């Protein structure tokens, strides 16, 4: 178990005055099967600054959750095309070589390794609308793309998998990974780093893909206005 302190800071700037600004920010983790959130502090500016959250994370004692079949099927950003279908075929061969009693997590680890090897981590190469097929076709992307491709493959080799948006120590921004359902529990795998999720990860949201887990969304009115967004997220362990 780890006690993690999470700081999330976002600044929105506009090149000219705006009106009717509506903005939703979902960045506070919630208590769930693998973490307990305490001491949440929120500040907003004007007259606001920073949000600090402390979470106890314990992957060794994940609580059980009810099975949800929707995580077995395609979602908008994970529909396979020729490139993902080719990876599905490769992964089916890898899974066929595993012992017959291989667990869902062991099978998912094979998929994760294949996804990890297929990508070059390249910030700015994709957008929030990029699909798994588009990202894999260019063989570059960010954590969201790694997760979407892994989700697509997992679901087509018989695994139940969902998208996770959250934080990881040392990243400086939000992160995304995958959870696979095994024996009543969701177990995390991080295809961006090709490893199992440990107690350094904080979960904020889960869903079928990124579209279910958007951390911020908004709209504003104005004439010839440009919006810029700055985000800084940090996670560190509190030992005392």
Q: Indicate the average pLDDT of the chain.
A: 89
In whole angstroms, what is the distance from residue 63 CA to residue 187 CA?
Answer: 11
Judged by average pLDDT, the poorest of 19-33, 99-113, 141-155 is 19-33
For the purposes of burial, counting CB atoms within 10 Å of the CB of 25, is it exposed (0-12), middle (13-18) or buried (19 or more)?
A: middle
Look up tokens 């889960």; give the residue.
206
Closest CA to 163 of 65, 83, 78: 78
Say what percent of the chain tops pLDDT 90: 56
DSSP 100: T
Which sign does the torsion angle of CA 205, 207, 210, 216 carry?
negative
In whole angstroms, what is the distance from residue 96 CA to residue 87 CA?
Answer: 14
What pairing do the DSSP bridges indicate for beta strands 120-121 and 140-141? parallel
Using a cut of 0.85, tell me whether the model's pTM lies above it. Answer: no
- The larger pLDDT score, comparing residue 204 to residue 49, is at 204
Could you tell me what percentage of the chain is helix, strand and coil, using 3-state DSSP and rounding each to the nearest 5?
Answer: 25, 35, 40
């Amino acid at each position: 178990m780890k006690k993690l302190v999470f700081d999330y800071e976002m600044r929105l700037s506009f090149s000219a005055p705006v009106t009717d600004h509506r903005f939703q920010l979902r960045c506070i983790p919630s208590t769930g099967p693998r973490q307990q959130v305490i001491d949440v502090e929120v500040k907003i500016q004007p007259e606001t600054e920073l949000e600090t959250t402390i979470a106890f994370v314990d992957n060794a004692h994940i609580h059980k959750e009810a099975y949800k079949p929707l995580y077995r099927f395609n979602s908008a950003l994970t529909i396979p095309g020729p490139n993902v279908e080719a990876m599905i075929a490769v992964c089916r061969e890898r899974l066929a070589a595993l012992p017959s009693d291989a667990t869902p997590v062991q099978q998912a680890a094979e998929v994760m390794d294949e996804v990890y090897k297929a990508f070059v981590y390249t910030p700015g190469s994709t957008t929030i609308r990029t699909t798994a097929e588009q990202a894999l076709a260019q063989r570059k992307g960010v954590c969201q793309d790694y997760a979407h491709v892994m989700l697509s493959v997992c679901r087509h080799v018989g695994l139940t998998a969902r998208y996770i948006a959250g934080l990881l120590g040392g990243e400086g921004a939000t992160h995304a990974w995958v959870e696979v359902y095994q024996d009543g529990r969701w177990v995390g795998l991080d295809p961006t780093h090709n490893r199992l999720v440990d107690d350094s990860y904080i979960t904020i949201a889960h869903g079928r893909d990124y579209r279910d887990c958007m951390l911020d969304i908004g709209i504003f009115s104005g004439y010839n206005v440009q919006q810029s967004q700055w985000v800084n997220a940090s996670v560190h362990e509190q030992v005392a």
